[in-house]
Structure 1
Amino acid sequence: MKKEYDIINLHCGGCASKIQYELDRLENLKDVNVDFYTKKLKFTLINNQDESELLQKLNEIADKVEPGTYFQSTSSQEKFTEENDHNHVHSHGHSHSGELGSKLDLIILTVGVTLFVVGLTLPKSLQKDIILIIAYGLSGYDILFNALKNIKRGKVLDENFLMGIATVGALGLGDFGEAAGVMIFYKIGEFFQDMAVNNSKKSIEKLMSIKPEFANLKNKNGTVETVNPSKVNIGDILIVKPGEKVPLDGTVVVGSTTLDKSALTGESVPVVSEVGDEVLSGSINIDGTIEIKVTRLYSDSTVNKIIEMVQSAGSKKAHAEKFITKFARYYTPIVVFLAVSIGLGLPLLYDGNFKLWFSRALIFLVISCPCALVLSVPLTFFSSIGKGSKDGILIKGGNYLERLKNIDTVVFDKTGTLTKGSFKVTKIECLSGTERELLEYAKAGEFYSNHPIGKAILEYGDVNIFEWEIQGHNEKAGYGVNALYNGKEILVGSKRFLEGHDIEIELDESFGTVVYIAVDSKLIGRIFVEDEIKESSKKTIEELMGQGISVYMLTGDNKKTGLHMANLLGIDADKICTNLLPQDKVSKLEEIKLKSKKGTIFVGDGINDAPVLAMADVGISMGKIGSDIAIESSDIVLMNDDPYKVIEALELGKKNNQVVLENVGFALGVKVVVMVLGVLGIANLWLAIFADVGVSVLAVLNASKILKQKIVK
């Protein structure tokens, strides 16, 4: 049973990882995800348990790690305002917006800063020391108070305790100015760190503003009622005015307009929509009033699917995120151990100068918090997934994003992926009877078809078929259909399908997609249909091959058609796999994966592609014309069906990996350098503060820059 709770008063990335660790240890929970940025707790409950007892146990764990933090259901959260959250008394040094957000806290800190500046200007005297001590108390009273409270709870390695020990130690050594300055700049650094994190969160939340707030429902009596989109049923008529969002997926039945779909697909060019055109929820109506007939409930709508996929992406963590979470548990104890060893061990073994080595040990305490890593690495993945969503690339988890950095093979389906999937009949060849009769039997066979080829035949010509005339219908996916129509047995499908029914076909294999038609075991003709290659397909394949990536194409077409397509797209002839049935695609992908040394992507769109999408290292589906099952089976969804988005996804994966390595290298590098300089007596507490909060701010800003960068130049 899947559970989801809101996290209240969680203001520390490090604490989020500690809560995650504690909850992972509970036997009754699995797939636990504590998301610091969305403030959501998600997990799977293995055995049934009383809701109130479970919540109480979870809240006890959260409060022990970060006092004041608790979980509650989303419905309960709606009863609270943001003001309630901000007014809550936090007891952790990282509650930046809670502590520094109130006017009183800002006033106290401002007074402390003023006294600190005044104290620095005075000559050395008792008065100067008193002013600096007061400045220290005003700026750090809450940290000292929380440190004492947490000691009673058994927490002696949190940021409050470590900062308290470091600055009190500086006071004990008579460095009043350094103690006050370090505390003040620590608080200011935390404030800017919190601002950077919040700005990144707001940027990502802005991407989720596509959710429609209302729908104008047209009643049967002609009146219009404003309702919640979730209350609208399939078949209802909605009115969408200029400037409003399309609330649900539907078909235009009255009017025409221009729609902005950039929030859904990343396409900046508005699209004209007229009667009969499909419109997607979340699109913005620019200039005309239209009426649409709803085709999907809100729970199944495009906009809701996008929001759900992006919000749940954080639950599938990458190896880098898991490593950082695990690393953070050991980093602080190790650094504190080093501090104790330097402060007590070195003077005992070396020169007996406890004051000197104690002052140097304080530097280790200040930089013992792993927040720069705990904040920046998950935020990098969070920002990358948000950036992808903005560009019409929905990535379902950090683990899939991470896999994109090691890809050497991309396998494409043909129809609807590299081609538009909009077939048209180009030629009808009769062997007996008339063209009209051939088309009638073909339409009877394809009457229930959802395949693009079947739809093309149904839309061609003026021959009409009535459903009651079809007495039987059986479709074999990838082969064809046999039906009983007006007492005659109809076979419509591929050459292989008809030959499987003992019908000999001596006609030459022709270029293009060919549908054969037989009536009462006699071949009466064939219909030729053609598909159009997408504008960006050739460019996509050229760039992939230019990066040293092997490109394959799988298709059910005959060999002649496949080789012609290979020539048009620039794919090597030996990498075109033809005459494939759905089960053949699975075995073929297995063969290709064995040749791959890194990782394999499969890009497809249809129901028949679902097994291969799930089997690939990364499955990418087309979200616009792709089937629901293909979208569910894939790891990445391309909302505008543009194959070039595969290039963008790969570049996003590389950029994400680059920023992760930058942040990890920068954060650890600076901390190690400052530690070494501290032992040598070159660094002081001021530099240690930079190595702590300064590095955190820079790492967070570096992670959030992905949102604003153009990935493919």
Structure 2
Amino acid sequence: MNKKQKKVLARIIIAAVLMIILHFIPVKGIIRFLLYMVPYLVIGYDILKKAFKGIKNKQVFDENFLMAVATVGAIAVALYENGDYTEAIAVMLFYQIGELFQSYAVGKSRKNISELMDIRPDYANIEVDGKLTQVDPDEVAIGSVIVVQPGEKVPIDGVIVEGSSTLNTSALTGESVPRNAKCGDEIISGCINMSGVLKIKTTKEFGESTVSKILDLVENSSSKKSKSENFISKFAKYYTPAVCYSALALAILPPLVRILFMSAAPQWGSWIYRALTFLVISCPCALVISIPLSFFAGIGGASREGVLVKGSNYLETLSQTRYVVFDKTGTMTEGVFEVAGVYDNTLDREKVLEYAALAESSSSHPISRSLQKAYGKEIDRTRVTDVEEISGHGITAKVDGVSVVAGNYKLMKKLGLSYSETDKVGTIVHIAIDGRYEGYILISDKIKPTSAAAIKALKKAGIKGTIMLTGDSRTVADSVAAELGIDEVYSELLPGDKVAKVEELLARKGSKEKLAFVGDGINDAPVLSRADIGIAMGAMGSDAAIEAADIVLMDDDPLKIAKAIKISRKCLRIVYENTYFAIGIKLICLVLGAVGIANMWLAIFADVGVMVIAVLNAIRALFVHKL
């Protein structure tokens, strides 16, 4: 508990003790009134103060106003009739107990998320004259060498230049298994170094590092509200004034009807008491508090599993997803390409690889990296000129003044070059040197071990259709789709074709059904933005993914897609449970209050009891590990 919560708890205990003591003191009249005002003001002075401030600022109708009017009115009725002030003080006391409980619950869920997302580094170590100096991570320039000792957080993204270690990435991925890191490996901020000392050459400024992007994402997630939250905000705006005027009508109209039309006693005390009970029951705390708390807990629970959701509106959309569209490379496959062979070549294998690697040296595409790796020598970029990348086709360049073409069959056709047809499964890079066809390079990509299980899990979760889009050849695409059990596959697509295909799929689905696109976030930004919900996976260190997607999966496991959908559905189920429960109980109690059956004690349950139950239910959204 924080200082403020402890203070409220002390006031609750003091007021409760005073109430019990006063119950056994036989005093009457004005002394009894003054004595009972002591516990009332101890427990309720801040509510009265807030209500007065609201009236002063012309923002009258809120829960503080409802509580102030109800309790002051109940005291006035007690003063006029029988001097029993217990109910008025009990209303305020239990309201404060409910508020304390709600404050503690929110604080607890915030703390859980804060502890989990406690990845913000406090300092970075820089070696100066053989000694380590701690500096602010913001002050570290790109290209600096920082030292990370065992037990410390990696403060900035970079490349390991010395040392090897194991890294704890659980705060980023939700996975408890440590990851090995050695010299030459890329490393991202937010990991915890567990064993050896590492020297890291920074590749980004702190503000652009993964840890900063993630923290910014999590901190801003509450600003993007769901339809349910916006509905509750609008509902409370009109609901509170409506119940205040209804209570006023309940206090005035029945007595007037009795006087004017029934020639009966007005019974002002009885009807005012009913109106005050009506006010206490109508307090919208359960809805106003539990709905945002459900989403907050849902986003927190998801982040613990390595699923970062940019706002509750995306969580709501994800729960309605019925179609999932995948990119192939890096999403369903490892995206780690390896050269499997060089075929139909007249030049030496090494020479073909040399020309291909040099021509592709300016590209960051995984296929380009695999060619450079197979070449195995240092790339001298001064040998390469006139590089032109043709999107979805390949590259043309000059290497040592010789024209080199490296790409798919579409590029060969476009340039009017003959090429060999093949039925080998893998990515085919055709090579032409100085206008003459010199064979093709076969590059293979492995399917991720959990991809097939991920498709099964999605179907089990009620996903109607799984679709794969790829720029790869039809042979490769069909082979991967058949192995994984994907329903539809579209191959040989350019980046622009993927957007057009997603547009077509969006037009095909039902109005209440949503379509999610899952990509690796490197070249899928247009499609991620166009789908109803964009999910970037394997996004550790990928700026494009964090920027373009609505939901970011922090590791490469496709099984997390089904998990994210299950988390969203659990969260929305809790939201609907709380909404129906709170509105249903309040409506029943409002009717009972209006006809005089419900008293203040039932009103306290309808307000505080319902709120406590709704908050407890909302907190369930945090617990999603076993979904």
Bucket of the pairwise TM-score, normalised by the shorter protein:
over 0.9
* Residue aligning to 1:32: none
Deviation at 1:586, TM superposition (A): 1.3
Q: Give the counterpart letter for 1:388 in structure 2.
A: A
Aligned to 1:387: 301
Of 249, 256, 269, 1:348 maps to 256
C-alpha displacement of 1:336? 1.1
Tell me, yes or no, if the aligned pair for 1:416 and 1:625 is still in contact at 8 Å. no
Letter matched to residue 421 of structure 1 = G
Q: Given residue 66 of structure 2, which amino acid in structure 1 is its aligned partner?
A: L
Q: 2:168, 2:176 within 8 Å by CA — same for their partners in 1?
A: yes
Unaligned runs of 5+ in 1: 1-81, 87-96
Partner SS, residue 608 of structure 1: coil
Tell me the CA shift for residue 459 of structure 1: 0.4
Aligned to 2:73: 169
Matching residue of 1:59: none
In the alignment, is the contact (CA less than 8 A) between 1:424 and 1:529 conserved in 2?
A: yes
More off after superposition, 406-415 vs 166-175:
166-175
Tell whether the 8 Å contact from 1:606 to 1:626 is kept in structure 2 after alignment.
Answer: no
The 2-side partners of 1:614 and 1:626 are apart by 19
Pick the aligned partner of 1:586 from 499, 509, 513: 499
Instruction: Give the partner amino acid of 1:567.
Output: A
- Cα distance in 2 for partners of 1:357, 1:628 equals 64
| 2:335 alignment counterpart | 421
In structure 2, what residue type is equivalent to 1:165?
V
What is the identity, as a one-letter code, of the residue corresponding to 2:23? L
Among 592, 600, 604, which residue is 1:689 paired with?
604
Corresponding residue number in structure 2 for 1:181: 90
Q: Is the 8 A contact 2:236 2:288 kept in 1?
A: yes
Query: Residue 231 of structure 1: CA displacement?
Result: 0.8
Query: Are 1:226 and 2:163 matched, yes or no?
Result: no
- Return the alpha-carbon distance in structure 1 between the equivalents of residues 393 and 531 of structure 2: 24
Q: Is the 8 A contact 2:63 2:285 kept in 1?
A: no
Whole-Å separation in 1 of the counterparts to 2:390 and 2:168: 40
- Aligned residue for 1:193? 102
Tell me if the contact between 1:210 and 1:303 (Cα under 8 Å) persists in the aligned partners: yes
How far does the alpha carbon of each residue in 1:333-365 deviate from its partner, in whole angstroms, 9 at most, with x for none? Answer: 111122112111123225632222211111122
Equivalent residue number for residue 603 of structure 1? 518
In structure 2, relative to structure 1, the CA distance for the partners of 1:577 and 1:626 (3 Å cut) is: farther
Identity across the alignment (%): 44
CA contact (8 A) 1:119 1:129 kept: no
Q: CA deviation at 1:123?
A: 6.1
**Are 1:300 and 2:208 matched, yes or no?**
yes
Tell me the secondary structure at the aligned position of residue 517 of structure 1.
Answer: strand
- CA distance in 1: counterparts of 2:484 and 2:533, whole angstroms: 23
Q: Identify which of 543, 550, 555 aligns with 1:628.
A: 543
What residue number does 2:409 align with? 495
Would the aligned equivalents of 2:251 and 2:271 in 1 still touch at CA under 8 Å?
Answer: yes
* Cα pair 1:253 1:291 within 8 Å, conserved: yes
Task: State the secondary structure of the residue aligned to 1:173.
Answer: helix
Tell me, in whole angstroms, the C-alpha distance in 2 between the residues paired with 1:545 and 1:599.
15
Name the counterpart of 2:19.
116
Alignment partners' CA distance in 1, 2:275 and 2:24: 28
Partner SS for 1:292: strand
Residue 608 of structure 1 deviates from its aligned partner by: 2.9
* Alpha carbons 1:473, 1:483 under 8 Å: kept: yes
Separation in 2 of the partners of 1:510 and 1:416?
21
Equivalent positions of 1:201-240 (< 5 A) are 201-219=110-128, 221-240=129-148
* Whole-angstrom CA distance in 2 between matches of 1:137 and 1:469: 85
**How many angstroms does 1:625 deviate by?**
6.2
In the superposition, relative to structure 1, how do residues 109 and 375 fare at CA in structure 2: closer, same or farther (>3 Å)? closer
Residue 618 of structure 2 corresponds to 703
For residues 25-54 of structure 1, the C-alpha deviation after alignment (integer angstroms, 9 at most, x for no partner) is: xxxxxxxxxxxxxxxxxxxxxxxxxxxxxx
Counterpart Cα distance in 2 of 1:285 and 1:303: 15
The change in CA–CA distance for 1:502 and 1:106 in structure 2 (over 3 A counts) is closer
Consecutive unaligned residues in structure 2, runs of 5 or more: 79-83, 259-263
Residue 282 of structure 2 aligns to a residue whose secondary structure is: coil
Distance 1:149 1:474, change over 3 A: closer
**In structure 2, how many angstroms separate the alpha carbons of the residues matched to 1:325 and 1:156?**
16
Of stretches 674-683 and 609-618 in structure 1, the one that deviates more from structure 2 is 674-683
C-alpha displacement of 1:146: 4.9
Partner residue, 1:26: none
Is 2:247 aligned against 1:333?
A: no
Structure 1 residues 684 and 524: alpha-carbon distance in aligned structure 2, compared to 1, 3 A threshold? same
In structure 2, the partner of 1:676 is 591
Q: CA deviation at 1:107?
A: 5.6
In structure 1, the partner of 2:573 is: 658
Letter in 2 for 1:346: P
- Counterpart of 1:629 in structure 2: which amino acid? A
The aligned amino acid for 1:616 is: A
Q: Which amino acid is 2:486 matched to?
A: I
Higher mean C-alpha displacement, 466-475 vs 133-142: 133-142
Amino acid of the residue matched to residue 384 of structure 1? Answer: G
Whole-angstrom distance in 1 between the partners of 2:163 and 2:450: 32
CA distance in 2, matches of 1:189, 1:607: 48
Deviation at 1:312, TM superposition (A): 1.4
Contact 1:258/1:273 (<8 A) preserved: yes
Matches within 5 A, 1:344-493: 344-350=252-258, 352-493=266-407
SS of alignment partner, residue 396 of structure 2 = strand
Residue aligning to 2:425: 511
1 CA distance for matches of 2:472 and 2:531?
A: 22
CA distance in 2, matches of 1:522, 1:491: 9
Distance 1:488 1:631, change over 3 A: same
Greater RCO between the two (CA within 8 Å, min separation 6)? 2
Shift of 1:156: 4.2
SS in 2 for 1:460: helix
Take 1:493 and 1:416, find their aligned partners in 2: how far apart are those partners? 19
Cα distance in 2 for residues equivalent to 1:382 and 1:494: 47
Q: Which residue of 2 aligns with 1:12?
A: none
Aligned residue type for 1:328: A
Deviation at 1:626, TM superposition (A): 7.3
| 1:389-414 Cα distance to aligned partner (Å, 9 max, x none) | 22111111111111012111111000
Counterparts in 2 of 1:153 and 1:647: CA distance versus 1, 3 Å: closer
* Partner SS state of residue 319, structure 2: coil
- Whether the 8 Å CA contact 2:169–2:176 is kept in 1: the answer is yes
Q: CA deviation at 1:315?
A: 2.0
User: Is residue 258 from structure 1 mapped to residue 166 from structure 2 by the alignment?
Assistant: yes
Change (3 A) 1:660 1:441: same
Matches of 2:457 and 2:544, distance apart in 1: 29
Equivalents in 2 of 1:660, 1:694: separation in Å? 17
2:426–2:444 CA contact under 8 A, matched in 1 = yes
In 2, Cα distance between the equivalents of 1:601 and 1:320? 20
CA distance in 2: counterparts of 1:481 and 1:279, whole angstroms: 30
TM-score after normalising by structure 2: 0.92
Shift of residue 706 of structure 1?
1.6
Amino acid of the structure 1 residue aligned with 2:566? E
Tell me if the contact between 1:115 and 1:131 (Cα under 8 Å) persists in the aligned partners. Answer: no
In 2, the alpha carbon distance for the partners of 1:224 and 1:410 equals 50
Structure 2 Cα separation of the partners of residues 108 and 628 of structure 1: 50
Paired letter, 1:491: V
Give 1:136's aligned amino acid. Y
The answer to whether residue 228 in structure 2 is matched with residue 320 in structure 1 is yes
3-state SS in 1 of match to 2:106: helix
Out of 46, 63, 70, which is 1:159 matched to? 63
1:577 matched to 2:481: no
Assess, with a 3 A threshold, how the Cα gap between structure 1 residues 201 and 449 changes in structure 2: closer, same or farther: same
Q: 1:356 to 1:250 in 2, by over 3 A?
A: same
Aligned 8 A contact 1:193 1:693 in 2: no
